[in-house]
Amino acid sequence: MEITFDKYSLMINGKRVFIKSGAFHYFRTPGIEMTRDRFLKMKAGGYNTVDLYFNWNYHSPSQGIYDFTGIKDVRKVLEEAKKAGLYVIARPGPFINAEVNAGGLPFWLLKMEDVIPRNRVGTEYKYSAKYMEYVAEWYDQIIPIIKDFDNVILFQIENEYATDSMEEDYIRELYKMARERGITCPIFHNDAYFAGLWADCVDIYALDLYPYINPNQNWKHDSFCFDTLDNVEDIFRCAKCDSPPFIAEMQSGWFDKWDGMGYKHIREALGDEHINIMTKTALSQGVTLFNHFLTVGGTNWGDLACDEVYTSYEFTAPIDEFGVPQSNFHKAKEINYFLESFDLTCTDPIDFDFYQENIYAKMRHDNTNNCDWLFIRNMGIPQKTNEAENGIFLPNGKTIKLKSCDMKICPINLKLKACEIEFSDAEIFAKLENEYKEAVFFISDKDANIYLNDGTVISGDQQDYTNFTFEKDGKTTNIIFITKHLSDKSWFLGDRMIFNAEYVLPNGAVAVDRNTEIAYFDLQYGFAKKNCIVNEFNNRASSLEALEISDVQFCSPEIDNDFDYSNWQKIQVNGKTDAFSCNMYNEFVWYKAKIPYNLTEITLSARHLFAVYINGKEIINRNSYKLEKLQEVPETISVPLNKIILNKDINELTILVQNLGFDKGFSGDTNNPRGLVLFETTPKVPIEFYVCEKLSPERTEKYESDNPYLSKITVNFDIDIKDNVFFAKYISFEDFRCRRATIFLNGIKIGRYIKRRHVQDKFYLINEFLKPHNTLDIVVWEKDRNVKSAWGFKSDLKNVKILLGTFKIYQLFK
Amino acid sequence: MVVVPEFLIKRIYQKGSLKKLENGASVNLKNVLGPGFISGFNYVKINNTTYEAKDVKFIMNGQEYLGTEVSEENPVAFRLGQVGTLVMTGEQSVIDGINKIVIEALNPEAGVVRLSIEDEVK
């Protein structure tokens, strides 16, 4: 496949193609079945490209070792993209950010001597030949896979990179390395600062745009929040005048943090309006390549997450973490279908002398369809004085009513086969056409009209399927209306439309969640209908089933006094104990040591959650995670000791540290240490630590202990897995009494529960890890003050509520 | 939090805008980075004189914002392309020739943003 470009668009084998891309994280949506499901849904939603980060850390547990097997087989991911008919934007870093652990850099790399990750300390550039050597090792592994796929149309080097002095050596060297290894498609970098950074070092200049990054603020009240986007064409032209405007990450959602507002809040705050405005404004600025970041939400299972984010990486994406299309998916679909129907790859801005307060208006001439498009937006504050809701008076004499935070694309002088639209503020959904016939679907809008150039005015206030037929010179144009409600359930397959389905796969398979009458339309036969009956699971979705607890076991023998840790890794006396120094990158790391009776105090710093036990009793249990709002809690604390605690000549010290992930490296340093970072005693005595990673149930089959601090609750449940049925299941912790828990599904860590203000209380049971018979282990780490007696606590745990829920079930009909 | 490289932050300062006032100084800032908010002023330092937030006011579109009134709860919207004047009062600090200026402000996303530049007064 030959990929070229000019200032308007990308060209694939000489043909202009509008790149409608969506970002997908294969590592957060593991397994080929789930990948296929999400890709087919993306394709059904009108996306023609998938953006893939390749996560170095996910594939490389130690230097020189790479795993591309099983769920880590990226070749299969690329094959599925190709089978789904999607082009690929390949982004192998080396740094990817994506809120993944260490920004995607492997842990082993971060501790290497002479390695300066990303050739940068803070914002100061420092070239590291050793780092480049290891980047070459990664490129040697990943590029041979990528270059085998001719549907890879773009290749990104680094991500969101900048330094104070902006030396170009690093970016130029990455470019050269990619070319030397056989990458032939255009190469770009993603500029987070929209300042033209690295434009001269790459083929196509690209940037990312996230106008909403602070969930505490209401973007609908900040009429200026799209200022950058509103001027992005100028930024592109200044940066690189001969490459097409490319938004490599265009906001379609946002991530939540540990202390965040919760995904429900973010999804409600963004609504459908945000993706609508983002995408249409980008089109108004001549953008012909966009990538909705993120289009498919995912899960931070295992140790995928950086320290900022919790298990769900729902991201309020158009296709959510469970794989269910959301309302912003339907809005994206509307725009994608419009772009599929009308080729906007070659347009130029034209002067449009218009001003009204809070109104953004931009006109473009379409060189392909030989018409103009008016892009118009109302950013007046809802429920306040917002004159535009009463009418926007255009220079052409037409008046548009536009709700707050709404945006439309209006055709001007658009020639159809049998009529010409002079102007329309009813929006086009999709068009089917052959040589003699066409059907143009409009979305009904009681305040809008279609004005034809023969003086005919068609009101947009129409019922579903209302059809206006025009004939001229043996050709036919049907203008067909569908309501917004129906448009969400309407699917464009190129040669036909399918209505009333929850979603439709590109092969025509129809998904429904209730008994439904599906309607079909094509140009040859018109409308047809078919019934889909799904009585069987009609009432099962959204119901909750209490799971019976089959077993509760205390599972932290490490804390017990007689525990044998002689085979653990020994650290030199006064040696470093952090994760890098010990080579232990798992979420949980245990430290054991002997301490004398005469200590009066210990001082320690550990990230992120930790507890200290002496002679089997908890001394302290705390969270040292730094807080947001520009404040940090002190990470180093001192704990006084006394003879009651140190009641033996030689006492046994146990420390358990939970690492919530390494810094993602966008602004902080990825190699900021984790684990036990500092440990001192008063008076100073030499301490010899032994360390081990993982919880006992992960390491061994024998883990019964006397102490109650860590307990494992086990439940078993069965799942009815059927062909042609899509389901998404979760466990609910709505009524869970404990403060912290780690969740394992069939031995695989799928979630971290930590009680907070806006806690994540639903955990996706990732389909890839589900079996007909399943075991769920929930390891609870409780504080001493919440454990009244071991016996009583065990009894309490036997009565905690674990609920199994079904988020969605769809049946697929061919 | 976003760390904005120093060379980008420096673009906010309008070169040649430093003015000597009767009992202070003023400078102009133009937002060329992107739409955002100022959620606080820590201090402005010109040569050896430090003006605390109470001695600083930010004037934009005819509206004055006292340095002590700007906070995370009460941020100032600073639009792309907008120009504001930072006025420091208290004592004279500007000298003829090269002046060293440090402005430390807060942004909800980037945290502390420190701008360190030199400007000449002839």
What are the boundaries of each domain within chain A? 3-331, 347-536, 544-554+707-813, 557-694
Inter-chain contacts counted by CB atoms under 8 A, chains A and B: 55
Task: Give yes or no for A603 touching B (CB within 8 A).
Answer: no
pTM: 0.94
Task: Give yes or no for A210 touching B (CB within 8 A).
Answer: no
A520 DSSP assignment: E
Which residues in chain B have their CB less than 8 angstroms from residue A194's CB?
A: 34
Determine the Cα–Cα distance for residues A655 and A709; give it in Å rounded to an integer: 12
- Chain A residue with the nearest C-alpha to that of B106: A630
Question: Residue A140, SS3?
Answer: helix
- Provide the b/e sequence for A281-309 (b: ≥16 CB within 10 Å): bbbbbbbbbbbbbbbbbbbbbbbbbbbbb
Contact A307, A663 (CB under 8 A): yes
Question: Residue A134, SS3?
Answer: helix
- Closest CA of chain B from A679, distance in Å: 29
Backbone angles phi, psi at B52, to 5 degrees: -80, 170
Residue A537 token pair: 């699971």
Rounded mean pLDDT, B43-56: 96
Q: Do B2 and A667 touch (CB under 8 A)?
A: yes
A413 DSSP assignment: E
Task: Give yes or no for A385 touching B (CB within 8 A).
Answer: no
- Closest CA of chain A from B90, distance in Å: 29
Q: Give the long-range contacts of residues A157-160, CB within 8 A, separation 24 or more.
A: A157/A187, A157/A188, A157/A189, A157/A202, A158/A93, A158/A94, A158/A95, A158/A118, A158/A189, A159/A91, A159/A93, A159/A95, A159/A96, A159/A97, A159/A189, A159/A190, A160/A97, A160/A190, A160/A191, A160/A192, A160/A208, A160/A666
Instruction: List CB contacts of A252: < 8 A, sequence separation 6 or more.
Output: A22, A275, A278, A292, A293, A294, A295, A317, A318, A328, A332
Q: Do B5 and A227 touch (CB under 8 A)?
A: no
Which residues in chain B have their CB less than 8 angstroms from residue A171's CB?
A: none
Determine the Cα–Cα distance for residues A762 and A764; give it in Å rounded to an integer: 7
Task: Give yes or no for B73 touching A (CB within 8 A).
Answer: no
Task: Give yes or no for B10 touching A (CB within 8 A).
Answer: no
Nearest neighbour of A222 by CB, restricted to B2, B77, B112: B77
Which residues in chain A have their CB less than 8 angstroms from residue B7's CB?
A: 164-166
Q: Do B109 and A630 touch (CB under 8 A)?
A: no
Nearest to A288 by CA among A221, A225, A364, A217: A364
Task: Give yes or no for B95 touching A (CB within 8 A).
Answer: no
Question: Residue A458, SS3?
Answer: strand
**Is-cis flag, bond preceding A608, omega within 30?**
yes
- Chain A residue with the nearest C-alpha to that of B6: A164
E strand intervals along A325-436: 347-350, 359-366, 371-378, 392-393, 399-400, 406-415, 420-424, 428-433
Find out if CATH 1.10.150.120 is the number for domain A544-554+707-813.
Answer: no
CATH level 3 topology of A3-331: TIM Barrel (3.20.20)
Nearest neighbour of A227 by CB, restricted to B34, B108, B109: B34
Determine the Cα–Cα distance for residues A335 and A338; give it in Å rounded to an integer: 5
Task: Give yes or no for A225 touching B (CB within 8 A).
Answer: yes
Which of B41, B76, B80 best probes binding to A when mutated, by most A CB atoms within 10 angstroms?
A: B80
H or E element that contains A517: strand A516-522
- Provide the b/e sequence for A38-56 (b: ≥16 CB within 10 Å): bbbbbbbbbbbbbbbbbbb
Q: What was the pLDDT predicted at A78?
A: 98
Which residues in chain A have their CB less than 8 angstroms from residue B33's CB?
A: 193, 195
Nearest neighbour of A630 by CB, restricted to B4, B5, B111: B111
What number of residues does chain A have? 814
Contact A417, A327 (CB under 8 A): no
Residue A581's DSSP bridge partners are none
Cα angle A20, A22, A23; round to 5: 145
H or E element that contains A716: strand A710-718
- Chain A residue with the nearest C-alpha to that of B112: A630
Q: Do A193 and B4 touch (CB under 8 A)?
A: yes
Is residue B95 scored above 80 in pLDDT? yes
Contact A3, A151 (CB under 8 A): no
Q: What is the largest CA-CA distance in chain B?
A: 40
Which residues in chain A have their CB less than 8 angstroms from residue B34's CB?
A: 194, 227-228
- Closest CA of chain A from B85, distance in Å: 20
B12 DSSP assignment: G
Backbone angles phi, psi at B9, to 5 degrees: -60, -40
Determine the Cα–Cα distance for residues A466 and A527; give it in Å rounded to an integer: 12
Which residues in chain B have their CB less than 8 angstroms from residue A231's CB?
A: 80
Q: What was the pLDDT predicted at A24?
A: 98
Determine the Cα–Cα distance for residues A157 and A190; give it in Å rounded to an integer: 8
Task: Give yes or no for A566 touching B (CB within 8 A).
Answer: no
Nearest to A479 by CA among A504, A492, A493, A462: A462
Q: What was the pLDDT predicted at A435?
A: 96
Nearest to A659 by CA among A604, A738, A606, A696: A606
Task: Give yes or no for A631 touching B (CB within 8 A).
Answer: no
Find out if CATH 2.60.120.260 is the number for domain A557-694.
Answer: yes
Quick one: CA dihedral A338, A342, A345, A351, positive or negative?
Answer: negative
pLDDT single digits (tens) A704-734 = 999 999 999 999 999 998 889 999 999 999 8
Nearest neighbour of A667 by CB, restricted to B3, B37, B106: B3
Nearest to A189 by CA among A239, A229, A140: A239
Backbone angles phi, psi at A802, to 5 degrees: -115, 120
What number of residues does chain B have? 122
- Closest CA of chain B from A611, distance in Å: 28
Please compute, for residue A536, the number of CA atoms within 13 A of its CA located in the half-sphere on the CB side.
Answer: 10
Task: Give yes or no for A666 touching B (CB within 8 A).
Answer: yes
Nearest neighbour of A227 by CB, restricted to B1, B79, B109: B79
Determine the Cα–Cα distance for residues A313 and A254; give it in Å rounded to an integer: 9
- Chain B residue with the nearest C-alpha to that of A221: B77
Determine the Cα–Cα distance for residues A428 and A430; give it in Å rounded to an integer: 6
Q: Do B35 and A224 touch (CB under 8 A)?
A: yes
Q: How far is CA A321 from CA A24, A47, A610, A707, A756, in A?
A: 11, 18, 30, 37, 21
Residue A108 token pair: 């082993």
Determine the Cα–Cα distance for residues A193 and A294; give it in Å rounded to an integer: 19
Instruction: List CB contacts of A675: < 8 A, sequence separation 6 or more.
Output: A577, A578, A579, A582, A584, A589, A606, A607, A657, A659
Which of A170, A193, A230 best probes binding to B when mutated, by most B CB atoms within 10 angstroms?
A: A193
Residues of chain A whose pLDDT is less than 50?
Answer: 627-631
Instruction: Give the CA dihedral A535, A536, A539, A540, nearest 10 degrees.
Output: -160
Task: Give yes or no for B122 touching A (CB within 8 A).
Answer: no
Instruction: Give the CA dihedral A784, A786, A792, A793, nearest 10 degrees.
Output: -80
Which residues in chain A have their CB less than 8 angstroms from residue B4's CB?
A: 193
- Closest CA of chain B from A224, distance in Å: 6
Q: How far apart are the first and last CA of chain B?
A: 39
Q: What was the pLDDT predicted at A383?
A: 63
Q: Do A227 and B81 touch (CB under 8 A)?
A: yes
Determine the Cα–Cα distance for residues A99 and A91; give it in Å rounded to an integer: 15
Q: Do B8 and A195 touch (CB under 8 A)?
A: yes
Using CB atoms and an 8 Å cut-off, which of residues 103-142 of chain A contact chain B? 122-123
Determine the Cα–Cα distance for residues A587 and A675; give it in Å rounded to an integer: 9
- Closest CA of chain B from A276, distance in Å: 19
- Closest CA of chain A from B62, distance in Å: 18
Nearest to A484 by CA among A334, A273, A278: A334
CATH number assigned to the domain covering A347-536: 2.102.20
Q: Do A224 and B77 touch (CB under 8 A)?
A: yes
Q: Do A123 and B72 touch (CB under 8 A)?
A: no
Q: What was the pLDDT predicted at A382?
A: 72
Task: Give yes or no for B117 touching A (CB within 8 A).
Answer: no
Q: What was the pLDDT predicted at A567?
A: 96
Which residues in chain A have their CB less than 8 angstroms from residue B37's CB?
A: 217
Q: Domains for chain B: give ranges and CATH numbers.
A: 6-121 (2.60.40)
Which residues in chain B have their CB less than 8 angstroms from residue A166's CB?
A: 5, 7
E strand intervals along A559-665: 569-570, 588-596, 601-607, 609-614, 617-623, 636-640, 650-658
